[in-house]
């Protein structure tokens, strides 16, 4: 496999050289011209456990022109909508870039969505055709014209027989304007009916222009891609950004192979969500618990010294212990990781400190689909992990009630075919009302809650549930917590337990029902009581219920980006909540 750094003679901190482009197609064209032999994508083997293959920028340019020629053959013109219902893969990205060059509006659909929800999105968007990743996905939407992405009779197979000439490619790219829609991304549904967010080319280009200057990214960086490409976060920051800076995108084979894949590609940047970081934390800490007493003491000493060193405190043994202990843990990420960029939810402080101790940088950020996913982010040299950071060349202000308002280049054009809904969130002065509540700590912004989630107790007290939930989830025995209390005299919580840990702690059988087990309830209650001491008295969770199953996409409690659907949870577990309100 080609050595991506040494052979290309590009240091990791080399800044992007491409000047600001007119469109995403223009971004790709510039890169193909400037660094044709640089590796743009790393692709896992279709079968087996072989090496990743490399695709250069010149090869990407050629494949994009072939796919573009196929789309043109199929009758697609600038402004037409094309659905894409597929799992992540390099061909997903190549089709995306072909659409950006032609001005075709790509409408990605989460591969996990059931057929009725996928159909609703495609119908609303007016997609002329939907490219599907598997036959099973095509069967989910029987009323829509489909074509497979790969394999027999697929778009990729057909692309071998069609090709845009360089003149046609350039002409198509030149016809796309900065304010043209580059994609329709549908919101994940935490606040109700999904809405199609119209993102212009200028929004993504702004991210490409600004982020590398603030976080020091360049052609030597390898982005490891495993989050859903249908989501704005991975799409803009994990696909457009690395290609725009001349970096490399390495695609995970699947979720189960992430660990092995990271060892092979040795990434330097990884976009992730707190659940991923927590999972790695859990695996390491569980492994430590099973080791000898001496190794446990050594790890905890190394951890304490690592945290002190990260905070600038006196830590005389940190370097030695890092070499003996922490370096081995870091090696599991490939050994070259520069940044984990975490978004989508708050990162628990104890998890953030775990990565600090490891010597791995976790950067939290904040953005929405409506703002191209990148509005505010911590900087590595002034990283406050309990905040979401500082603005990325975008205007930010807080309304009187604390709601975060954003205005700038990355703002959407509006919700597709929903002018009234658009007017509700973008005011006459161009400020986008995020619905999130925040506060400043110096120049750093902290997210404290969702505006619509604020609870009003029966005694009139206003309670923000998110900070309480985040505190409870710091417990190793609590996997998920959802706090309610509207109209009640006190806060209550639905608890998804860390079932395996509780059963292990209590020496219960693997199939023991924790919902009615008195010992399990006492154990969870002791954890809740411990975290109740942190907040105000009226914020204390007085009653709780242990749920029998984890939240999943299939059972409906989670969005495709693994956010809890609070309204759905409240309705699904209404009877349990009613029993707590006594």
pLDDT tens digit sequence for 525-578: 999 999 898 877 888 999 999 999 999 888 888 877 778 888 889 999 999 999
Give 62's contacts (C-beta < 8 A, 6+ positions apart). none
pLDDT score of 11 more than 50: no
Distance of CA 320 to the CA centre of its chain: 35
Rg of the chain over CA atoms, in angstroms? 24
What whole-number distance in Å separates Cα of residue 529 and Cα of residue 472?
10
User: pLDDT confidence of 167, banded at 50, 70, 90?
Assistant: very high
User: pLDDT confidence of 188, banded at 50, 70, 90?
Assistant: low
Mean pLDDT of all residues in 312-322? 92
Q: CA 42 → CA 45, 52, 91, 261, 418, distances in Å?
A: 10, 6, 11, 11, 39
pLDDT score of 14 more than 50: no
- For residue 534, the model assigns a pLDDT of 83
Q: What rounded mean pLDDT belongs to the chain?
A: 90
Three-state DSSP at 537 gives: helix
| Cβ proximity of 464 and 449 under 8 Å | yes
- For residue 310, the model assigns a pLDDT of 87
- For residue 275, the model assigns a pLDDT of 82
pLDDT score of 18 more than 70: no
What residue ranges define each of the domains in the chain, with the CATH number in brackets? 24-201 (3.40.50.12780), 274-451 (3.40.50.12780), 454-580 (3.30.300.30)
Beta-strand ranges (E) seen in 66-165 are 81-85, 105-109, 129-132, 146-148
DSSP 485-524: -TTSSSEEEEEEE-HHHHHHHHT--TT--SSS-HHHHHHH
Mean pLDDT of all residues in 303-332? 91
pLDDT, tens digit, 9 for 90 and up, residues 450-465: 777 788 887 777 788 8
pLDDT score of 10 more than 80: no
pLDDT score of 30 more than 60: yes
**Phi, psi values for residue 430, rounded to 5°:** 85, 10
| Half-sphere exposure at residue 6, Cβ-oriented, CA atoms within 13 angstroms | 3
- CA dihedral sign of residues 303, 305, 308, 310: negative
pLDDT, tens digit, 9 for 90 and up, residues 103-145: 999 999 999 888 988 999 999 999 999 999 999 999 999 999 9
Kindly state the tokens that stand for 361.
Answer: 């940088």
Residue with tokens 């495609």: 122
Kindly state the tokens that stand for 167.
Answer: 């003149």
- For residue 582, the model assigns a pLDDT of 66
pLDDT, tens digit, 9 for 90 and up, residues 225-242: 999 999 999 999 999 999
pLDDT score of 4 more than 80: no
């Amino acid at each position: 496999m080609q050595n991506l750094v040494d052979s290309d003679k590009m240091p990791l901190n080399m800044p992007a050289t491409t000047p600001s482009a007119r469109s995403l197609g223009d971004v790709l064209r510039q890169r193909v011209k400037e660094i044709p032999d640089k590796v743009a994508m790393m692709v896992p083997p279709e079968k087996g456990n072989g090496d990743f293959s490399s695709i250069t920028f010149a090869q990407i340019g050629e494949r994009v022109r072939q796919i573009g020629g196929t789309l043109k053959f199929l009758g697609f013109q600038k402004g037409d909508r094309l659905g894409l219902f597929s799992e992540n893969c390099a061909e997903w990205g190549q089709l995306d870039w072909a659409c950006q060059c032609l001005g075709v509006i790509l409408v990605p659909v989460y591969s996990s969505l059931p057929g009725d929800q996928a159909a609703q999105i495609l119908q609303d968007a007016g997609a002329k055709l939907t490219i599907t990743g598997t036959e099973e996905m095509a069967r989910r939407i029987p009323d829509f014209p489909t074509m497979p992405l790969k394999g027999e009779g697929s778009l990729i197979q057909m692309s071998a027989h069609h090709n845009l000439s360089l003149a046609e490619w350039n002409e198509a790219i030149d016809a796309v304007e900065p304010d043209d829609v580059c994609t329709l991304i549908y919101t994940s549904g935490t606040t109700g009916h999904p809405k199609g967010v119209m993102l212009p080319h200028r929004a993504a280009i702004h991210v490409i222009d600004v982020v590398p200057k603030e976080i020091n990214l360049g052609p030597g960086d390898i982005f490891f891609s495993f989050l859903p490409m249908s989501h704005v976060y991975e799409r803009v920051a994990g696909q457009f950004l690395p290609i725009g800076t001349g970096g490399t995108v390495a695609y995970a084979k699947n979720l189960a192979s992430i660990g092995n894949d990271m060892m092979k590609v040795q990434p330097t940047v990884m976009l992730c969500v707190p659940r991923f970081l927590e999972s790695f934390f859990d695996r390491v800490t569980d492994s430590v618990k099973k080791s000898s007493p001496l190794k446990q003491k050594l790890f905890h000493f190394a951890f304490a010294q690592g945290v002190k060193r990260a905070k600038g405190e006196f830590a005389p043994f940190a370097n030695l212990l890092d070499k003996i202990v922490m370096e081995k843990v870091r090696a599991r990420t490939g050994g070259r990781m520069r940044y984990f960029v975490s978004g989508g939810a708050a990162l628990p402080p104890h998890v953030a400190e775990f990565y600090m101790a490891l010597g791995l940088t976790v950067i939290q950020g904040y953005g929405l689909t409506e703002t191209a996913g990148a509005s505010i982010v911590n900087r590595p040299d002034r990283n406050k992990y309990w905040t979401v950071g500082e603005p990325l060349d975008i205007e930010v202000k807080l309304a009187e009630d604390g709601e975060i308002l954003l205005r700038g280049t990355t703002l959407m054009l509006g919700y597709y075919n929903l002018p009234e809904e658009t007017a509700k969130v973008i005011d006459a002065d161009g400020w986008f009302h995020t619905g999130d509540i925040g506060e400043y700590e110096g120049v750093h912004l902290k997210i404290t809650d969702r505006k619509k989630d604020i609870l009003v107790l029966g005694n009139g007290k206003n309670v923000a549930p998110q900070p309480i939930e985040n505190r409870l989830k710091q417990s190793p025995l609590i996997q998920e917590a959802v706090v309610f209390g509207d109209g009640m005299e006190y806060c209550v919580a639905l608890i998804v337990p860390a079932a395996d840990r509780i059963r292990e702690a209590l020496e219960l059988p693997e199939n023991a029902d924790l919902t009615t087990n008195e010992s399990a309830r006492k154990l969870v209650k002791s954890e809740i009581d411990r975290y109740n001491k942190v907040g105000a008295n009226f914020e204390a969770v007085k009653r709780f219920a242990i749920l029998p199953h984890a939240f999943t996409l299939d059972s409906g409690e989670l969005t495709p980006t693994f956010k809890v659907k609070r309204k759905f949870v409240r309705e699904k577990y209404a009877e349990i909540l009613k029993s707590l309100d006594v």
